[in-house]
Structure 1
């Protein structure tokens, strides 16, 4: 009985060793991949140990070089007398390499155990991904609302050099209350972008988007808004608060407000009304003629201008046309910097129209609204959803006076824009809610970017 159990144990150990060896070897060879900056430091450390040992021996007058050579010569002579050199040589080389592999694998295993105690993925895979993302292009995304955060979730899989420039014109909900009661710039859109770019996105999104359901003064506030407000009070301004929050959340990229001015949005409607306040514009349910802000011509955040000037790729949208995208462009320096950029620039058009903002708008109408607000063309191409949503989604949105944005090719061509047609839709099965698919959207954008760049 005991012998049988022993045989089973030996068989199990042998099977486990065989199955794990290729994985270990694969993991070890990954550490030899170029660009990790690991091999050079390992070799440098080994050379340092050898040099230090040699120095100690010399200082103690052991004449180490002579004695070491003499000792190894004697060992080699004795070995070759017993075992032929064509056998002993490869054996010694193999033994040396085995010791190096064993020592390094144990060392790296110990480091991985400390740095990644959960063990969900190998440290080497994390390092390879980190290097790849840090070599990605410098991307600037301009917008706000849920559309911008949706895009960021997809883009962060291609590059860590992302800068999201976000509007600070929001005055509704939790952000509006904090703006009125405490005097801080609205943190809502910034919160969404930080959560989208965080490495632990699911957990961070749940935490940052959590809204208090009870408590005096807390009801309706999101944790993320309160967190950013507290950081703003501690650091002194919103830019530093975002930078500090980004470090806490391990954000991949950076989020910047378009301006640090207390901007108030207004809109003139076709019926002659002027609506003030971002949250009231959509509620007014009128056709918008012109939008502007108070104070007029707010100064841009310098860091945002630097990001645009250094950008390899600039993306505008998706998002609410008049309350998420155009407010960023009402900062003249932002619009000028984008207009003078040599980077490929593209506008991601919304899939559906929005009641109170773009009801009845075509793709060409979206483009003309942006051109009119800025006084100059800012992008060379527009990404348009190719396939229509399902009948269920169309019926749902029809009840909200919303419909798919029609593509008027002749108008878009006359405006000098290239049309990129692609299926980038994500439709929820049960609710029929239509949004952009983060992965599909990012994939199409990068395909166009690499094609334009000739990569």
Structure 2
């Protein structure tokens, strides 16, 4: 009895597996019939080509072999239909032909897949469908810098391949600052982060690009990506071309562009009268920022960045440090002018926490006013803010650094004429207590808002 029960269970399991395999196989084949893949037309054209070749060969040999082959086939079919009725033999032959076509096409696509995707982590048709969907995605421009912009890009790249990241080049701290002072290259750090964030699942290359040296004279603290971009800049003689070459190596979805190719240096006037120069020095000064600008004044924008904004369906400003990541891009007049000229959805992603020495005591409205003041006009329609407060552990952790949640002053924001989108877009590290924007949640909220505006 036990043996019989075991056999019955095994048979049921085999049937279930067979059914699942068949359903999966049929499902994969039907995907090839999906609209917009540009595959069906070429398959039909190939079939038409086979018929024309056969017809051409028949005409060339004056139809003699064709006549005998046709006569033989007719005799065979007549014999078959005498033994097996036509209403049975016809469908069987038809089914056999369809199975042969499917088998041949399966082996063909299987051979292609083995060459293009030896690890077979994803079916070829799934890869093609994803590629088609991403290439038809909205034209999105994201403006900012620091870790905030790369966090945003990591989520948005799953919705569209038509993403342009416009990145500040005002950074003068860390590895980027050293390379800027010693070699004269534009700071590559923020750009490196954005390139890595947009990389198309190239895990090993991304880790290599982000690798930071921990030993070696002159190498300690430098990331491989920064050095790579610096060397490419020397070879190509152009920082923009170096970024483009790096993007190809990492199979980047979209493009990463510096806001300007000028050697920009930030300055800030504080409430106590001090004037501080240098992006890293501004936050360390620990004062209230009253005015901010850059040297040289009115740097020219990278033309591709202006063109990307002019063609954009959707513009996203932030997230990132208000005065040292977001606003530096808007100090490039061509960038601000291009955004103002567009009549497409434009949203600002506000920071979750205040930043000591930069936005102490700032509310959501204060962030909005700071951008409006620098640009002299309204650039965005809505602002996205975190809905819930961080945990008590996180609040205590940040309070030690004199950082607090950005307060939502609803009435003040409404008076500024901005729509507010409140959502849970935060992720909290349970060990360190640090909070960050969650890439996927933020992207989901941004795309949902865009969709409601009727642009997807």
TM-score category, normalised to shorter length: over 0.9
C-alpha distance in 2, partners of 1:305/1:359? 32
- 1:55-454 paired onto structure 2 within 5 Å: 55-62=56-63, 69-200=70-201, 202-453=203-454
The superposition leaves residues 110-137 of structure 1 with CA deviations (integer Å, 9 ceiling, x where unpaired) of 1111111112121111111111111110
Deviation at 1:65, TM superposition (A): 6.4
Answer yes or no: is the 8 Å Cα contact 2:363–2:406 preserved in 1.
Answer: yes
CA deviation profile, 1:56-101 (whole Å, cap 9, x unmatched): 3423334576556545434433332222111111011101001011
Structure 2 regions of 5+ residues with no counterpart?
Answer: 1-6
Q: Secondary structure at the match of 2:246?
A: helix
**Contact residue 134 and residue 162 of structure 2 kept, 8 A:** yes
- 3-state SS of 1:297 partner: coil
Matching residue of 2:4: none
Q: Is the contact between residue 58 and residue 66 of structure 2 (CA under 8 Å) also seen in structure 1?
A: no
User: How far off its partner does 1:201 sit?
Assistant: 5.4
The DSSP-based 3-state class of the residue aligned with 2:207 is helix
User: Secondary structure of the equivalent of 1:453?
Assistant: coil
Following the alignment from structure 2 to structure 1, what is the Cα–Cα distance between the partners of residues 146 and 91? 65
Q: Which runs of 5+ in 1 are unaligned?
A: 1-6
Deviation at 1:205, TM superposition (A): 3.8
Are 2:202 and 2:250, in contact at CA under 8 Å, matched by a contact in 1? no
- TM-score normalized with structure 2 length: 0.94
Contact 2:330 2:336 in 1 (8 A): yes
Q: Please give the alpha-carbon distance, in whole angstroms, between the structure 1 residues aligned to 2:237 and 2:60.
A: 57
Q: Which residue of 2 aligns with 1:21?
A: 22
Residues 391-440 of structure 1 show CA distances to partners (whole Å, capped at 9, x for unaligned) of: 00100111111000001111111111011111101100111001001100
Q: Deviations 1:35-58 (Å, cap 9, x if unpaired)?
A: 211121122122223322332342
> Offset of 1:14 from its aligned partner?
6.6
Q: Is the CA contact 1:58–1:64 (under 8 Å) kept in the aligned structure 2?
A: no
Q: CA RMSD in A?
A: 2.0
Structure 1 residues 94, 173: CA separation in 2 closer, same or farther (over 3 Å shift)? Answer: same
When normalised by structure 1's length, the TM-score is: 0.94
| 1: CA distance, partners of 2:345 / 2:409 | 23
